[in-house]
């Protein structure tokens, strides 16, 4: 096994040296399961990388993970090829990153949605609970029935963080509101099951929900469609998904993964890449809610004012949104 790795390494290193003459700065990005066109999380990181490429004319290497087994392999290969910096999107990549980053101390790594304590790794995490709080407020204000829904993808702490922030936002506007929460599944397949997602959303709508928020990657496609089909409003996540069903998506909880990817590339290019944990919240414009021509008729001035007010208060610390992952529990449900 060792010999094989060494041989492979040698072959790859040879390929890398020939390539290195062409270009010294070689950024790379690895997308998670779901693929770079999932119109959600991974697409956001793809857009960040594309923006960098457009602005500076620097090409980047990319890889889309197809199965869990590829994570470490892909990451190690990229590092061996001399790509630097390497940006990896997704919490599920953490263990692979931990192993590989230690082997390549001279390479700058960035991981999004997970924290790894190594001197050459920048960990970018988002305050999803803050953004979810704001869309929760919007949901509660747009709801006529007083019942709103949430559909999560895989049942993990990160997704519960979305749910918990959302519920807090809903309750802040309407303490009597009911929030129906569902998770699609407990495995990676839960990110790619739009049929089940649609079924869950439809169940919630049958139970009276008229606004449904999803944090479920590709599964969310079914959630938004079911909401649009049954006269309810959907709320998108990660990327701006308002355009998927114009007039039927209330807003989208933006998570600026694109900014994180762009910044990692840019900092490395400028030579001031910094390791450590970066937390992007409302104050840093790392999360937010989307307003564009597709949903401007759905958001009244009153709603916008209330949300902007809450946003200012969250930034100033006057409102504190509880983060589920700090103690694995949510004060409201």
> Would you tell me which residues interact with another protein (CB under 8 A)?
34-38, 64, 155, 181-183, 185-186, 189, 192-203, 206-207, 218, 221-223, 225-226, 229, 244
**Minimum CB separation from another protein for residue 195, in Å?**
5
SS3 190: helix
Hunting for tokens 């030579």 — which residue is that?
271
In our burial notation (b when 16+ CB lie closer than 10 A, e otherwise), range 21-40 reads eeeeebbbbbbbbbbbebbb
Q: What is the largest CA-CA distance in the chain?
A: 67
Q: Which is nearer to another protein, 228 or 254 (CB)?
A: 228
In 3D space, the residue among 180, 62, 143, 132 whose CA is nearest the CA of residue 307 turns out to be: 132
Distance of closest approach, residue 227 Cβ to another protein, in angstroms: 9
Least gap, CB of 225 to another protein (angstroms): 4
Min separation Cβ 16 and another protein, Å? 27
Name the β-bridge partners of 112.
89, 124
> In this complex, which beta carbon is closest to another protein, that of residue 136 or of residue 198?
198
Q: Quick one: 38 or 263, whose CB is closer to another protein?
A: 38
CB of 107 to another protein, least distance (A): 27
Which letter does DSSP use for residue 322 in this model? Answer: P
In which region does residue 150 sit, left (phi positive, over 0), alpha (psi from -120 to 50) or beta (all else)? beta
Q: In the complex, what is the shortest distance from the CB of residue 218 to another protein, in angstroms, rounded to a whole number?
A: 5
DSSP string for 155-170: -SHHHHHHHHHHHHHH
- Residue 47 in contact with residue 240, Cβ under 8 Å? no
CB-nearer residue toward another protein: 49 or 287: 49
Query: Is-contact 206 145, C-beta < 8 A?
Result: no
Q: Which two tokens stand for residue 202?
A: 């439809």
* Nearest distance from C-beta of residue 287 to another protein, angstroms: 24
By C-beta, is 28 or 190 nearer to another protein? 190
Nearer to another protein, 131 or 153 (CB): 153
Tokens of 294: 């597709």
Nearer to another protein by Cβ, of 33 and 111: the residue is 33
Nearer to another protein, 14 or 37 (CB): 37
Q: How many CB atoms lie within 10 A of CB 306?
A: 18
What is the rounded distance in angstroms from the CA atom of residue 289 to the CA atom of residue 235?
10
Q: Measured from the CB of residue 192, what is the shortest distance to another protein in angstroms? A: 6
Tokens 């290019």, located at residue: 269
Task: Between 49 and 280, name the residue whose CB sits nearer to another protein.
Answer: 49
Question: Measured from the CB of residue 194, what is the shortest distance to another protein in angstroms?
Answer: 4
Question: With left for phi above 0 and alpha for psi between -120 and 50, is residue 328 left, alpha or beta?
Answer: left
Please, are residues 87 and 61 in contact by the beta-carbon 8 Å criterion?
no
Residue 72 and residue 150: Cα distance in Å, rounded? 33
């Amino acid at each position: 096994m060792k010999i094989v790795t060494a041989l492979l390494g040698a072959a790859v290193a040879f390929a890398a040296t020939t390539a290195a003459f062409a270009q010294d700065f070689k950024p790379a990005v690895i997308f998670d399961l779901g693929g770079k066109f999932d119109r959600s999380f991974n697409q956001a990181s793809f857009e960040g990388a594309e923006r960098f490429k457009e602005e500076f004319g620097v090409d980047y290497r990319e890889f889309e993970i197809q199965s869990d087994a590829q994570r470490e392999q892909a990451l190690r290969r990229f590092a061996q090829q001399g790509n630097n910096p390497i940006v990896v999107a997704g919490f599920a990549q953490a263990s692979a990153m931990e192993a590989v980053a230690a082997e390549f101390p001279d390479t700058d790594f960035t991981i999004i949605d997970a924290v790894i304590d190594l001197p050459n790794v920048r960990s970018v995490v988002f305050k999803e609970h803050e953004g979810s709080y704001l869309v929760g407020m919007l949901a509660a204000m747009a709801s006529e029935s007083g019942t709103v829904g949430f559909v999560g993808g895989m049942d993990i702490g990160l997704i519960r963080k979305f749910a918990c922030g959302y519920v807090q936002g809903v309750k802040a506007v309407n303490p009597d509101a009911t929030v129906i929460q569902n998770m699609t599944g407990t495995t990676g397949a839960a990110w790619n099951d739009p049929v089940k997602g649609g079924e869950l959303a439809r169940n919630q709508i049958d139970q009276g929900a008229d606004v449904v928020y999803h944090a479920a990657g590709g599964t969310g496609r079914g959630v938004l469609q079911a909401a649009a089909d049954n006269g309810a409003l959907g709320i998108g996540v990660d990327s701006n998904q308002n355009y998927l069903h114009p007039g039927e998506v209330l807003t989208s909880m933006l998570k600026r993964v694109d900014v994180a990817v762009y910044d990692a590339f840019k900092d490395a290019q400028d030579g001031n890449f910094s390791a450590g944990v970066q937390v992007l919240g409302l104050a840093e414009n790392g999360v937010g809610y989307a307003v564009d021509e597709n949903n401007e008729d759905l958001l009244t001035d009153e709603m916008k004012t209330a949300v902007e007010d809450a946003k200012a208060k969250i930034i100033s610390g006057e409102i504190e949104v509880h983060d589920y992952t700090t103690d694995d529990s949510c004060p409201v449900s």
